[in-house]
Amino acid sequence: MSSVLVRRQGLLAALARRNLSQAKFARQLNCSPGYLSDLLQGRYQPSAELRDRMLAAINDAESFPNLPPVPWDDLFITTDTATSAGKEASMPATIRIFDTTLRDGEQCPGASMNTEEKLEVARQLARLGVDVIEAGFPISSERDFLAVRDIATEVQGPIIAGLCRANEMDIRRAADAVAPAKRKRIHTFLATSDIHMEYKLRKTREEVLAMAVKAVTLARSLCDDVEFSAEDATRSDIDFLCRVVEAVIDAGATTVNIPDTVGYAIPDEFGALIATIRSRVPNIDKAVISVHCHNDLGLAVANSLAAVRNGAGQVECTINGLGERAGNAALEEIVMALRTRGDSFNMTTNVNTKEIVRSSRLVSDMSGIQVQPNKAIVGANAFAHESGIHQHGMLANKRTYEIMSPEDVGAGGTKLVLGIHSGKHAVLRKLFEMGYELSDEQLEKVVARIKVVAEKKKEITERDLESIVMDETNLVTERFHLDYMHVVAGTKMLPTATVRLICGEEEITEAGIGVGSVDSVYKTIAAVAKLPHSLVDYVVHSVTGGTDALGEVSVRIQDSDGHIFSGRGASTDIIDASAKAYVQALNRLAAHLPSTLGAEQIESV
């Protein structure tokens, strides 16, 4: 679809003939001088409504009776023409990437992470090169507050943001949590749609406007970088939304976020909304417009891209599109769309795309939410070609069926890195190259595990090493440790498992039967753990190819209150991997129980 830009020389000539300054013309258009300057530089395209106002103002017969009308083509230029007109081309704009995996992404059922896991993800997000990390919602729990504070203390590079509602207690709690960060942001939000104001807030428009201004004023007194989000913006009255945006910018907001909270918008409509805000809010040049799109209609990425075409300077997104309900806009899709279609967007980001796949795998492992094989950019099949016609084209020239290189996103060919004779220093050097920072104790565990796996698999690849590190640097407190397992199964016998778990200081051995090998192991472990729950998901996949490949198992269990807990395990033996995954999920469930419970009380829950 063609875009329309302002023809810089044509508009400047028309203004000169009419003795109109850019500032005066901007006032006539009811837009900021900064936005008009951006239009003249080709950074944004004017909405159809703004183009009509510009034409009408330039060709106002009453104001300029002696001047002939200026034709549309003298003031505006289509995308195709602009691309060929080198003199009209502009430098790429840098879009800020605001990652909310650790806040909105964690609201996905079963994706909850502990503080150590959040820290590991935050470190990887810093390596990825995101501009902002929304580390959590500090007021929601003591655990979330401590996680945000630890990330603010330890993670360098990105801005560290804490989310808060528009009230004093929330804002001060968020300010305390992000205080240790060298670069920090308070992100406060308040609903602006009539349905939210009437049924959730029970406030009038004027009350909500006053609350928003008061919240931003307080936040700005505590932090120089403040973001305000108008929750459910896409279902808000546009006049009221513009009033709120203008007021919070005057109060000190440096970023204004326009969320599609329920995933209701469609791209043309959402792009027009952003363009309208750019043109109607007079002080919009003093803040960055951000967007946060949900995927309820499968349009989160498309809506985000429509927004940046129309003036948004920041996109809020998550790794793998993780998030509440149908999820959020996927970071990897936003970034690679802007990079791959630079000819269309003329925009870039600060993201190191070679870290995308690793970031995806880490979030998947930590959250327990598996990535679908056909997921764009990071799915197992994203760069796979099975059709004979496609394979023939790929052999002739990869560009016949690949619009981006797998190496560009860190999905390059598998490298053989380690074997049974590899020592601690070789392992340490390789882990450092891959960005891991392990304690001496964790390193010992990883080296020992590599020796065990190498005896069965002979060669360890980078992907194997990633899986081993995730397995051996388990960041979940162990209430239960799998010490021994023996399984007997066959075609004409009942599968039987014998399991020994270490529970604190106590060793408990139990035997049980099931309809299959894994079922017998799970029933036996459950009999020892004595934690009420049900298994809701069990997924197996291989880490690499071959019959000696490491197998990864992911499980999700649910307690009696509906909370979801995930676990993962990796081994060359799928039953062993299954047991490890199940025990990890049970440990997460046990950790969720009140910390005041003793071992005997936990068993009785």
- Model confidence pLDDT, tens digit, residues 515-563: 999 999 999 999 999 999 999 889 888 777 677 778 889 898 988 888 8
β strands within 388-442, DSSP E: 416-419
For the sheet containing 480-490, what is the strand order? 480-490, 493-503, 506-513
Paired residues of 553 in beta bridges: 540, 569
Please report the pLDDT score of residue 387 as a whole number: 44
pLDDT greater than 90 at residue 407: no
More confident residue, 333 or 462: 333
Report helix angle 238-251 to 267-280, nearest 10: 50
DSSP 283: T
Nearest-angstrom CA–CA distance, 3 and 512: 67
pLDDT band at 594 (very low <50, low <70, confident <90, very high): low
Report helix angle 142-154 to 168-178, nearest 10: 40
* pTM > 0.75: yes or no: no
pLDDT band at 601 (very low <50, low <70, confident <90, very high): very low
Q: Which of 284-298, 443-457, 483-497 has the lowest mean pLDDT?
A: 443-457
Q: What is the DSSP string of 535-586?
A: EEEEEEEESSSSTT--EEEEEEEE-TT--EEEEEEEESSHHHHHHHHHHHHH
> Is the CB of residue 383 less than 8 Å from the CB of residue 411?
yes
Which helix (H) or strand (E) segment holds residue 231: the answer is strand 226-231
Cβ neighbours of residue 323 closer than 8 Å, sequence gap 6 or more:
100, 104, 105, 107, 108, 294, 295
Which domains can be identified in the chain, with CATH numbers? 4-88 (1.10.260.40), 93-367 (3.20.20.70), 416-472 (no CATH), 480-604 (3.30.160.270)
Please report the pLDDT score of residue 417 as a whole number: 63
pLDDT greater than 90 at residue 484: yes
- The per-residue pLDDT for range 302-326, each reduced to its tens digit, is 999 999 999 999 999 999 999 989 9
What average pLDDT does the chain have? 86
- The per-residue pLDDT for range 342-382, each reduced to its tens digit, is 888 889 999 999 999 999 999 998 888 888 889 999 988 88
Q: Is residue 382 helix, strand or coil?
A: coil
Please report the pLDDT score of residue 399 as a whole number: 65
Average pLDDT rounded to a whole number, residues 182-209: 97
Please report the pLDDT score of residue 108 as a whole number: 78
